[in-house]
């Protein structure tokens, strides 16, 4: 099984390349803990999707120290990697989004079943265990129609230092995903968790709501869907400089076309991430605590 890590983005709110910001006592990054947990769950291949200009930094700081534990590959998200017949709009500098990033990894992943995660989110070992169990359970025939997504409890994914963006999930009684609605500004205010929209202002949201943290599981057949649907995306650009080809949107379209279903893997794991600089000491304290509890060794990689 392959773990695909989306690491091509720059943390504009955090102020730097937060994917390679040391947080653990041995200089580990959040990525290190994700890879460690994935290996424990049975993943044996990691593909980093990065910008080409960050290759040397990633290899020096991450790739080189995990190569003895797991197979490592890199894929580069580049603006020019778009369907034939289309050109990059003049002035476009913004990456094309998570579906496009994943397409850039299609050759590195090959025919393997795989999970997708963000580089700068701590998902917890339970999430990787459940993801691996689902991917192993896929039947050899008909697996094209079955995807999965880890569903986190909203209250476990909030930052105390500002708003967060989360995919709010509607789930049926069989734990199958009905829809994901992106809420870009969620925050706990006056003892209530609320999301903000220009048209309606602040709206209260239950803290028990399942949310997506962009942790998905797929068979390799998803690449065929992503490639075919990319033509439609590029044919219908409304804002050529800002439109993004996003993974939750495409998965939703595939579901509506009855070409796949999505199992929600509920987890009580606590999310940690550095959305804001002020989050950094909280993450460091969390890592100190889980190391003290014996969940992780003090030095993660003993090469």
pLDDT along the chain (303 residues), means of 10: 86 46 85 95 96 86 91 94 91 91 95 93 95 91 81 93 90 95 89 88 92 94 94 93 92 93 95 84 91 92 75
> What is the pLDDT at residue 198?
84
For residue 11, give the DSSP letter. B
| Separation of CA 85 from chain center | 30
CA–CA separation, 15 and 282 (whole Å) = 17
β-bridge partners, 192: 189
CB-CB contact of 118 with 271 (8 Å): no
Give the pLDDT score at 17: 53
Instruction: Write down the pLDDT at residue 20.
Output: 61
Are the CB atoms for 64 and 119 separated by under 8 Å?
no
CB 44 within 8 A of CB 135: no
CATH of domain 2-292: 3.90.550.10
pTM for this structure?
0.92
Report helix, strand or coil for 236. coil
Going from N- to C-terminal start, the domains of the chain cover 2-292
Asked if 174 and 260 count as a contact pair (C-beta separation under 8 A), the reply is no
> What does the pLDDT read at residue 41?
97
């Amino acid at each position: 099984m392959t773990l695909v890590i989306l690491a091509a983005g720059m943390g504009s709110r955090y102020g730097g390349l937060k994917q390679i910001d040391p947080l653990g006592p041995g200089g580990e990054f959040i990525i290190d803990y994700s890879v460690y947990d994935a290996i424990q769950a049975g993943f044996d291949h990691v593909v980093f999707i990065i910008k080409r200009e960050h290759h040397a930094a990633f290899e020096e700081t991450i790739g080189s120290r995990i190569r003895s534990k797991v197979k490592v590959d890199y894929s580069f998200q580049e603006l020019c990697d778009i369907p034939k017949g289309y050109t990059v709009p003049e002035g476009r500098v913004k990456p094309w989004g998570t579906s496009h990033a994943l397409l850039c990894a299609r050759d590195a992943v090959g025919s393997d079943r795989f999970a997708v995660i963000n580089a700068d989110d701590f998902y917890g070992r339970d999430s990787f265990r459940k993801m691996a169990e689902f991917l192993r359970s896929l039947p050899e025939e008909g697996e094209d129609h079955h995807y999965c997504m880890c569903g986190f409890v909203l209250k476990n994914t909030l930052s105390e230092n500002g708003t967060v963006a989360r995919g709010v999930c509607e789930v049926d009684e069989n734990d199958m995903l009905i829809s994901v609605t992106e809420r870009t500004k969620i925050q706990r205010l006056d003892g209530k968790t609320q999301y903000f929209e220009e048209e309606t202002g602040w709206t209260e949201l239950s803290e028990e709501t399942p949310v997506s943290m962009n942790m998905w599981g797929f068979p390799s057949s998803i690449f065929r869907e992503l490639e075919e649907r990319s033509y439609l995306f590029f044919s219908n650009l409304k804002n050529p400089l800002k439109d993004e080809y996003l993974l939750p949107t495409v998965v939703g379209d595939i579901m509506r076309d009855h070409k796949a279903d999505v199992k929600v893997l509920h987890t009580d794991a606590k999310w940690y991430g550095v959305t804001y600089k002020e989050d950094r000491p909280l993450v460091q304290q969390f890592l100190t605590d889980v190391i003290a509890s014996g969940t992780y060794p003090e030095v993660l990689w003993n090469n």
